[in-house]
Amino acid sequence: MKKGFTLIELLIVVAIIGILAGVGVPMYNGYMIQAKINTSEANHKQIANLISRTFLECSINPSKKMRLHPKMSTVPCDSNQMGVWYGYFSDYVDWFGGYENAYDDSLTFCYKSSNAGNVRNPDIGRCVIKYKSQSGKTGILLKTNIGNESGQPDYLEEFIIKE
């Protein structure tokens, strides 16, 4: 009696592996895309909360000087110059915040926009921080392109006012 597998048995095993791979790979890709979207959305919410908390802390104690990281300079809470604040927040996010671009790790997650007009839409997986006036109020605009399942842009936008 010979020990081993017949050609038919091997072909059946290869066919089963092929079917499993054909079903598994698209599901895996779907999970990866959803994970990137969720990561970008979570980063956006964390940064928006950071800005809101900082402005709230400043409204409670206007004489305080804010320092988000020991290696950063301080910003006086009584400063209403949004140009100072947007630069401060974007520097923190880029250098010390630990936020990564879920779609492309060679790019930073956020960048600052100093143009006075409309914000250029960020690429998928990126956000832009800008100061902006809206309805007579000046604040920080955070706009993130989280993308969607079909690879198209999908934007989250927060306008955070310093009271």
Closest Cα to residue 76, out of 86, 84, 65, 68? Answer: 65
Asked if the model's pLDDT at residue 158 lies above 90, the reply is yes
Mean of the per-residue pLDDT values for the chain?
Answer: 87
Confidence label for 35 from pLDDT (cuts 50, 70 and 90): very high
Instruction: Give me the mean pLDDT over the 93-102 stretch.
Output: 87
**Cβ-Cβ contacts under 8 Å for 96 (sequence gap 6 or more):** 68, 69, 71, 72
Strand pairing class (110-112; 127-134): parallel
pLDDT of residue 79: 79
39-70 tens-digit pLDDT: 999 999 999 999 999 999 998 998 999 988 88
